Amino acid sequence: MNKKAEIEALIQRLPKLELHLHIEGTLEPEQLFAFARRNQVALAYPDVDSLRAAYDFNNLQSFLDLYYQGTAVLQTAQDFFDLTLAYLERVAAQNVVHTEIFFDPQSHTARGIAFGTVIDGITRALAEGETRLGVSSRLIMCFLRHLDEKDAFATLAQAEPYLDRIAAVGLDSSEVGHPPCKFERVFAAAREHGLLAVAHAGEEGPPEYIWEALDRLKVSRIDHGVRCVEDAKLVARLAEEGVPLTVCPLSNVRLKVFPDMRHHTLPRILEAGIKATVNSDDPAYFGGYMNENFEAVQQAFGFDPETWLTLSLNAVEASFLEPEAKARITSAMRQAVAG
Ligand code: ADE
Ligand code: ZN
């Protein structure tokens, strides 16, 4: 095998962990039309091809507008189950062994769908993913940052009966103009309930948002964080404290955070000693799941197997898994790289 084919084979056989995945972002156009038919929801696009043609984004907001529109087809617990199981089946085929999944309850409760309907469907699929597909998981409840603190507190209250199914809270949606400090009190309340915290920061927003996520929301990791390179002090802190970044390469290119993959800051982030990981974000919208993200990075940067091992071990360390599972996956990764 030549070197290129060898790395491609390594990418496929590496056990992978996904730490940045919005379950609503796994809604494939075909599935979206099937749910719309099932639930008699009228769509703004006549067919799958015209919908897919609209996936040409200028920035985060142009994507979010379509993404929230798409959620309208999700109505029953069965829909959330089918969506989640389809994602798990796709990534199990890519050798993903563990996934930490975001969901956006407010995009459903605002449409009159009960919180319990959403979480029942998702968690039933996660249980089947673990037993039948061997994919373990954690669930992360995101607050929509374009909404206010009061709405986030109401969502946390709705989550209370289900806290045993939720590992952490997160923060997503339109970043610029909605700094992490807006949610300082609700994150404190969530942490008091025993939940961990993560937050999207430094995707489109400035490095200051990453500082705030760390200092005011007390997050365990930063989602995206790719703009950290604009602030040398922040880079030093992230490296020193071992704060993981869940980087989503195809997402960043599709949302024009970078003009193309060669301009991505991932190599600089790794060189600075920051614990970066590679993830898919909203794979149905951005052109790929885990393997496609790994392959796009490989094509741009030609990483060696050691770098892939580093990225993989970073994901294990950054995950919310117990130490025994971390040890088991670590040794499987080392074995995969050894060939
Ligand atoms: N919601 C879904 N995907 C997102 C992203 N990449 N950034 C912010 N919010 C999101
Ligand atoms: Zn995201």
Q: Which of 63, 65, 178 to mutate to test the pocket of ligand 1 (most atoms within 8 A of CB)?
A: 63
What's the pLDDT score for residue 10? Answer: 97
Strand order in the sheet with 245-247: 16-22, 96-103, 136-144, 168-172, 196-201, 221-224, 245-247, 276-278
Rg (the chain; Cα; Å): 19
Mean pLDDT confidence for 178-191: 98
- Mean pLDDT (the chain, rounded): 98
CB 267: neighbour CB atoms within 10 A?
15
115: nearest Cα among 153, 162, 150: 162
Give alpha helix (H) positions in 19-114: 29-39, 48-53, 60-70, 77-92, 106-109
Mean pLDDT confidence for 88-114: 98
Cα 255 to chain centroid, rounded: 15
Give me the domains of the chain, ranges plus CATH numbers. 3-338 (3.20.20.140)
pLDDT band at residue 3 under the 50/70/90 scheme: confident
Mean pLDDT confidence for 259-280: 98
| Distance, CA of 324 to CA of 17 (rounded, Å) | 15
Q: Which residues, 6 or more positions from 18, have their beta carbon under 8 angstroms from its beta carbon?
A: 91, 96, 98, 99, 100, 279, 280, 290
pLDDT digits (tens, 9 = 90+) for 234-262: 999 999 999 999 999 999 999 999 999 99
Give nearest CA residue, ligand 1 atom 6.
Answer: 281
Token pair recorded at residue 10: 């390594």
Specify whether the CB–CB gap between 137 and 101 falls below 8 A. yes
Specify whether the CB–CB gap between 319 and 277 falls below 8 A. no
Residues with CB under 6 A from ligand 1: 22, 25, 60, 67, 172-173, 200, 203, 251, 281-282
Mean pLDDT confidence for 50-73: 98
pLDDT band at residue 339 under the 50/70/90 scheme: confident
Mean pLDDT confidence for 106-118: 98
Helices and strands in the chain: count of H runs, count of E runs: 17, 8
Identity (one letter) of the amino acid at 42? A
